[in-house]
Structure 1
Amino acid sequence: MKRIIIFISLLFILAIIASTSIHIIRRYSQTINTGSVYLVIKEGQSLEDISKILLDRKVIRSSRYFIYYGKIKGFDKKIKPGNYILSPGLKVEGIFKKFQSGISDFEIVTIPEGFTLYQIASRLEERNLVKKDSFINIKLDEIDRRKLITPGKGVYYEAEGFLFPDTYYVPKDLSEKEIAELMFHRFESVFSEKYGQRAKELGLSINDVVTIASLIEREAANDEERKRISGVIYNRIKREMPLQIDASVIYAITKGERNIGRLYKSNLKFESKYNTYLYRGLPPGPIASPGRLSIEAALYPEEHDYLYYVLGNNGHVFSRTYEEHVKNVNKYIK
């Protein structure tokens, strides 16, 4: 009788241990991220390195369990580098299977400040994410759900200037429109309510502000002179002088597809509303995608009485009179 009681007690204890073990396995084998996590696995990263990343990114509960599971199943030797998206609800085994595939779920794409829409589309096409010719012709009303932007009349491309320059993690299954929306939403997050209010104070539309910012972006040689160049633009507009910005002429001629190293007098006569030598005021729309500093410079120009500038040895040299400007041109332009 005593032996039977001991045997039953052992069975009970074993049942408790088994139940607890099952509970622990279920608990630690399930991921805990509530949203998609973008993860880059690099060549040479160890199982320990990866487990620490997953723990820090709140994907797994225990790095020890992850390492133990990977080693006991032999997964640790089969992990391949790649760009992976870990969706909510995955099990640890599912993570390892994804890591074994080596198939990247997304592309990392960096869009520098000052890129034109054509350059953005070209870079995305290089990564097999879009077809360039259709991407550059996306309409603003397709991506601007709040109808913040009214495109200027005669713009080459409606989305020019409004796809914010940044580093993006782009899922490979996104459509061209969804990629454009992703980049436009980044612009929306940068162009805050404070910026919108400041634009109203200046009597400018968002299209005007971004157009000014794009001119600054393409002209400025360094961060320090952005607001000064902005001041020159405002001063010339106030005096009803043509802006005479070379970057706008280059855009007029090339539609942002290439750069021109040197402009000739014949180029300055190119017929286009973007040509700020021929037409006073702002071009119909942006000529590139400006970054945050250029947008701020467009909204908060430096107050001064400069009307001209020319590229010198360490950035632009500014002048108040045409005579002074001619001297600077003769000094710095060979």
Structure 2
Amino acid sequence: MKVLKFLSVLVVFAIIGFSYWIYSSLNAPHAHSKTNQYIQIPQGSSTGQILVKLAAEGILSSPLPLKVYLKITGSGNEMQAGEYLFDSPITPLEVLGELNNGRLRTVKLTIPEGFTRFDIAKRIAKQFPQNPPEGENAVLNLMEDISLIKDIAPEAKNLEGYMYPNTYDFQRTVTTRAILEKMVGEFKKIWKPEYADRALQLKMTPHKIITIASLIETESRLDEERAIVASVIYNRLSKGMPLGIDQTAVYIAKMENRWDGIIHKSDLESNSPYNTRKIVGLPPGPISSISESSIKAALYPATTNYIYYVLNVEKNDKSHRFYSTAAEFERGKAAYQAWLKKERR
């Protein structure tokens, strides 16, 4: 009888001791070396598999305390798959809290205004290298699927100009197709029905308006002068003058995979239909991603007699001086070239 009482007391103390160890372990901060490394919990992982993985990664000192806790509380099913960053030190209960929140790792994709489809493809391929398709050319091939913009621009040959510049958050496993759909979706939020109506008033198609907007985007960084730049484009079109926009030469070089950061004389002499130094009228399509500011400027150009402009070297704020005659322009151009020569010394 005494032996049974003694054994009962031992069992009670053992239970109390074990319970205290579990409680202490669950609340004890544990230091690890993986603070800057994402730990992936695959879909379909069992509770036991998750705890063993976290112990193997060093996030938990032992899987047992949490295993017992989850068994008692029955809350193991709340843990979610995903990619996690765990602070160090961290307690097992804090680890469980992270797993229950199911935080997914995202990658920021920033597309600046004025980026071409070639720039966008390069950035997507670099930031999402593990997703099919692989490489810039494969991304560019996907951009040739114009089904996303058939309702706006059935004559478009690719998605250039219709991928809205913005900063996006994507899961690391996102497909390239989903990225393009999101960017075009953002463009469609900006392109309002009244914009299409205004294009008709100007005797333009939406695609031509987007093309003009892309020219404005590459020529002017200042919202307040974009409508004036637009007026120059429209004035030149009405006079049958080549637009003479050198950024189209840059676009040609990127299209032919030979852009080295400098516009060469051969670029300006190219026979490409995008060469606005030689062709009269608009290029076949947009040459960059565009902001709503440039779209509005293309739709509502200022009323001016200007047909030339040159960078304003006096202000040095990326603004331009605008001219109505060739003589005025030549004087402004000479001042700009003199300034440029001085700057390059």
Shorter chain as denominator, the TM-score bin is 0.5 to 0.7
| TM-score, scaled to structure 2 | 0.64
Query: Partners of 1:257 and 1:293 in 2: how far apart?
Result: 29
Q: Are residue 141 (structure 1) and residue 143 (structure 2) matched?
A: no
Match of 1:328 among 296, 312, 332: 332
* Aligned position for 1:97: 99
- Alignment map for 1:203-222 (pairs within 5 Å): 203-222=203-222
Q: Tell me if the contact between 2:163 and 2:180 (Cα under 8 Å) persists in the aligned partners.
A: yes
- Following superposition of structure 1 onto structure 2, how do residues 1-334 of structure 1 map, counting pairs within 5 Å? 80=85, 96-97=98-99, 104-128=104-128, 131=134, 132-138=136-142, 139-144=144-149, 147-152=151-156, 158-255=158-255, 262-313=262-313, 314=316, 315-334=319-338
CA distance in 2, matches of 1:161, 1:254: 15
Tell me, what secondary structure is at the counterpart of 1:137? helix
- Are the structure 2 counterparts of residues 160 and 202 from structure 1 closer, same or farther at C-alpha, using a change threshold of 3 Å? same
TM-score by length of 1: 0.66
Structure 1, unmatched stretches of 5+, are: 1-41, 44-68, 83-91
In structure 2, relative to structure 1, the CA distance for the partners of 1:276 and 1:182 (3 Å cut) is same
Q: Distance in 1 between matches of 2:187 and 2:295?
A: 11
Q: Deviations over 1:135-191 (max 9, x none)?
A: 1122343433x5321235xx5xx1111111011112233322221111111111100
Deviation per CA, 1:44-73, whole angstroms, max 9, x where unpaired?
xxxxxxxxxxxxxxxxxxxxxxxxx9xx99
Residue type matched to 1:177 in 2? Answer: R
Paired AA for residue 192 in structure 2: S
1:4-29 deviation line (CA, Å, top 9, x unaligned):
xxxxxxxxxxxxxxxxxxxxxxxxxx
Q: Give the stretch that moved more between structures: 165-174 or 276-285.
A: 165-174
SS in 1 for 2:311: strand
Q: Percent identity?
A: 34
Measured after TM superposition, the shift of residue 260 of structure 1 is 5.8
Cα offset, 1:254, TM superposition:
2.3
Moved over 3 A (4+): 92-95, 256-266
Cα distance, 1:333–1:121 mapped onto 2, change above 3 Å:
same
Letter in 1 for 2:148: I
Number of aligned residue pairs: give it.
246
CA distance in 2, matches of 1:210, 1:260: 26
Q: Could you tell me whether the CA contact under 8 Å between 1:105 and 1:172 is conserved in 2?
A: yes
Max radius of gyration: which structure?
2
What residue number does 1:9 align with?
A: none
Query: CA 1:239/1:217 → structure 2, altered by over 3 Å: closer, same or farther?
Result: same
Contact 1:117 1:288 in 2 (8 A): yes
CA contact (8 A) 1:81 1:99 kept: no
